[in-house]
Structure 1
Amino acid sequence: MRGVRTQPVGRSNEGRANPNRRVPSGPAVDHRRVGSEQPNQEGTAQIMADPAGGGHAGWCSRRVATTRSAPNVRPARPGGVARGDAPVVVTVRGRRPAGRSLRISDGRGPPIACQCSPTSCPHSVDSPTGSGRFARVVHRPPAMRSDPSVRRRILVPMTTFRITPRGTFSLAEAAMFGVGHRAESTFDGTMRLAFSLDDLSTQVGVALTEADGDIVGEVSGLPPGGDVEAVRAQVARIVSLDHDATGYEGVAAADPVVAPVLAAAPGLRPVLFHSPYEAAAWSVLSLRWGRRQAAAVRERFAREHGRVLDVAGQQVAAFPTPARLLEIESSRGVPEVKMQRLHGVAKAALAGTFDVATLRDADQADADAALQAIPGIGPFSSALIRFRATGAADLAVDRERNLAEIVGERYGLDGPATDDDLVRLAEGWRPFRTWVAVLLRAASGRVTDHSGKAA
Structure 2
Amino acid sequence: MSEDSRYEAVRSRDARFDGAFFFAVSTTGIYCRPSCPATTPRRRNVTFFPTAAAAQGSGFRACRRCRPDAVPGSVEWNARADVVGRAMRLIGDGVVDREGVAGLADRLGYSARQVQRQLTAELGAGPAALARAQRAHTARVLLQTTALPIADIAFAAGFASVRQFNDTVKEIYALTPSGLRAVRPGPGSRFGGLAAPSGTPGVLPLRLAYRGPYAARQIFDYLAQRALDGIEEVTGEPGGRTYRRTLRLPHGTGIAEVDEATGDGWLDCRLHLTELRDLATAAQRVRRLFDLDADPFAVGERLGADPALAPLVARCPGLRSPGTVDPDELAVRAVLGRRAGTAAGRALGARLVAAHGEPLPRPAGTLGHLFPRAAELADAPLTGLGLSDARIAALRALAAALAARDVVLDAGTDRDRAERALRGLPGIGPWTADYIRMRALGDPDVLLGAPPAGTDPAVWSPWRSYATHHLWAADPAGTAERHPNPTERIDA
Q: TM-score, normalised by structure 1?
A: 0.52
Partner of 1:343: 396
How far residue 175 of structure 1 moved from its aligned partner, in angstroms, is 0.6
Unaligned regions of 5+ residues in structure 2, if any? 1-140, 149-194, 229-233, 478-492
How far residue 229 of structure 1 moved from its aligned partner, in angstroms, is 1.3
Given the superposition, is the C-alpha separation of residues 269 and 362 from structure 1 closer, same or farther in structure 2, using an over 3 Å criterion?
A: closer
Partner of 1:208: 258
Partner of 1:384: 435
Partner of 1:242: 293
| Aligned partner of residue 437 in structure 2, secondary structure | helix
Aligned partners of 1:312 and 1:266: how far apart in 2? 35
Q: Where in structure 2 are the equivalents of 1:77-116 lying within 5 Å?
A: 77-78=143-144, 80=146, 109-110=197-198
How far residue 394 of structure 1 moved from its aligned partner, in angstroms, is 2.4
Provide Cα deviations, 1:139-192, integer angstroms capped at 9, x if missing partner.
xxxxxxxxxxxxxxxxxx432332211111132221102588349795362342
**Residue 283 in 1 paired to residue 371 in 2?**
no
Provide Cα deviations, 1:288-316, integer angstroms capped at 9, x if missing partner.
42332221121132234325679996537
Aligned partners of 2:226 and 2:267: how far apart in 1? 23
Provide Cα deviations, 1:247-305, integer angstroms capped at 9, x if missing partner.
11222332222221122223321223443312321233224423322211211322343
Partner of 1:394: 445
Partner of 2:243: 192
**Residue 329 in 1 paired to residue 381 in 2?**
yes
Look up the equivalent residue of 2:464 and give its one-letter code: R
- Contact 2:144/2:197 (CA < 8 Å) preserved in 1? no
Aligned partners of 2:463 and 2:304: how far apart in 1? 13
Provide Cα deviations, 1:92-129, integer angstroms capped at 9, x if missing partner.
xxxxxxxxxxxxxxx9734788xxxxxxxxxxxxxxxx
Aligned partners of 1:313 and 1:265: how far apart in 2? 33
**Residue 217 in 1 paired to residue 269 in 2?**
yes
Bigger proportion of residues as helix: 2
How far residue 77 of structure 1 moved from its aligned partner, in angstroms, is 2.8
- Contact 2:213/2:317 (CA < 8 Å) preserved in 1? yes
Q: CA RMSD in A?
A: 3.7
Aligned partners of 1:362 and 1:213: how far apart in 2? 30
Given the superposition, is the C-alpha separation of residues 347 and 219 from structure 1 closer, same or farther in structure 2, using an over 3 Å criterion?
A: farther
Look up the equivalent residue of 1:384 and give its one-letter code: Y
| Aligned partner of residue 240 in structure 1, secondary structure | coil
- Contact 2:248/2:370 (CA < 8 Å) preserved in 1? no
Given the superposition, is the C-alpha separation of residues 212 and 226 from structure 1 closer, same or farther in structure 2, using an over 3 Å criterion?
A: same
- Contact 2:246/2:367 (CA < 8 Å) preserved in 1? no
Given the superposition, is the C-alpha separation of residues 343 and 266 from structure 1 closer, same or farther in structure 2, using an over 3 Å criterion?
A: same
Partner of 1:163: 208
- Contact 2:409/2:440 (CA < 8 Å) preserved in 1? no
- Contact 1:208/1:216 (CA < 8 Å) preserved in 2? yes
Aligned partners of 1:444 and 1:288: how far apart in 2? 18
Aligned partners of 2:225 and 2:458: how far apart in 1? 28
- Contact 1:240/1:269 (CA < 8 Å) preserved in 2? yes
How far residue 214 of structure 1 moved from its aligned partner, in angstroms, is 1.2
Aligned partners of 2:369 and 2:315: how far apart in 1? 32
Unaligned regions of 5+ residues in structure 1, if any? 1-74, 83-106, 114-156, 414-420, 447-455
Partner of 2:450: 403
Look up the equivalent residue of 2:457 and give its one-letter code: A
Look up the equivalent residue of 2:442 and give its one-letter code: G
Q: Where in structure 2 are the equivalents of 1:352-391 lying within 5 Å?
A: 352=405, 353-359=407-413, 361-363=414-416, 366-391=417-442
Given the superposition, is the C-alpha separation of residues 330 and 430 from structure 1 closer, same or farther in structure 2, using an over 3 Å criterion?
A: closer
How far residue 197 of structure 1 moved from its aligned partner, in angstroms, is 4.2
- Contact 1:307/1:317 (CA < 8 Å) preserved in 2? yes
| Aligned partner of residue 227 in structure 1, secondary structure | helix
**Residue 173 in 1 paired to residue 218 in 2?**
yes
How far residue 370 of structure 1 moved from its aligned partner, in angstroms, is 0.8
Aligned partners of 1:319 and 1:331: how far apart in 2? 17
Partner of 2:312: 261
- Contact 1:207/1:312 (CA < 8 Å) preserved in 2? no
- Contact 1:195/1:203 (CA < 8 Å) preserved in 2? yes
- Contact 2:296/2:318 (CA < 8 Å) preserved in 1? no
How far residue 225 of structure 1 moved from its aligned partner, in angstroms, is 3.4
Aligned partners of 1:294 and 1:203: how far apart in 2? 25
- Contact 1:251/1:429 (CA < 8 Å) preserved in 2? yes
Provide Cα deviations, 1:37-94, integer angstroms capped at 9, x if missing partner.
xxxxxxxxxxxxxxxxxxxxxxxxxxxxxxxxxxxxxx96335469xxxxxxxxxxxx
Q: TM-score, normalised by structure 2?
A: 0.49
Aligned partners of 1:343 and 1:202: how far apart in 2? 26
- Contact 1:265/1:443 (CA < 8 Å) preserved in 2? no
- Contact 1:303/1:318 (CA < 8 Å) preserved in 2? no
Aligned partners of 1:392 and 1:382: how far apart in 2? 12
For these two proteins, the number of residue pairs brought into alignment is 280
| Aligned partner of residue 450 in structure 2, secondary structure | helix
- Contact 1:192/1:311 (CA < 8 Å) preserved in 2? no
| Aligned partner of residue 177 in structure 1, secondary structure | helix
Q: Which has the larger radius of gyration?
A: 1
Aligned partners of 1:426 and 1:347: how far apart in 2? 35
Aligned partners of 1:326 and 1:226: how far apart in 2? 30
Given the superposition, is the C-alpha separation of residues 274 and 79 from structure 1 closer, same or farther in structure 2, using an over 3 Å criterion?
A: closer
Aligned partners of 1:180 and 1:390: how far apart in 2? 21
Aligned partners of 1:308 and 1:270: how far apart in 2? 30
Provide Cα deviations, 1:220-245, integer angstroms capped at 9, x if missing partner.
3x332332111111111112112222
Partner of 1:443: 474
Aligned partners of 1:273 and 1:251: how far apart in 2? 25
Aligned partners of 1:195 and 1:342: how far apart in 2? 22
